[in-house]
Structure 1
Amino acid sequence: MITGLPALSHEEQQQAVERIHALMAEGMSSGQAIAQVAQEIRQNYKGAPVPMRFDEEDEEE
């Protein structure tokens, strides 16, 4: 799967982590907090996306 993800600066990444932690402190599950912050980033991001490729096949070791 190929998807475009926002390229965040270190400071923006730190802000996202702090927002996730704040939501979790309010009682939200980690998955819900991550999903909410990711959605907020997608809605508010003004820069160009960075193409990412995800391999969906499980690799056995």
Structure 2
Amino acid sequence: MKIDDLELTHAEQQKAVEEIQKLMAKGISCPEAIIQVSEMIRQQHQENILAD
């Protein structure tokens, strides 16, 4: 799975799906949940790049 230029492992994909499902269980729409999780993944990736 790719998010822009980010490659996600299967485990990362599973975690993303779980996070999306949690947000949807709280009443957030599916598209909004995907946006939020995508932004979180991008932010974490950026922080990892800066830490290296």
TM-score (norm 2): 0.77
Q: RMSD between aligned alpha carbons? A: 1.3
Structure showing greater relative contact order (alpha-carbon pairs closer than 8 Å, 6 or more residues apart): 1
**Which structure carries more helix by proportion?**
2
Q: When the two structures are aligned, how many residues end up with a matched partner?
A: 44
**Which structure carries more strand by proportion?**
1
Query: Percent of pairs identical after alignment?
Result: 48
Q: Which runs of 5+ in 2 are unaligned?
A: none
TM-score (norm 1): 0.66
Moved over 6 A (4+): none
The structure with the largest alpha-carbon Rg is 1
Q: Which runs of 5+ in 1 are unaligned?
A: 48-61
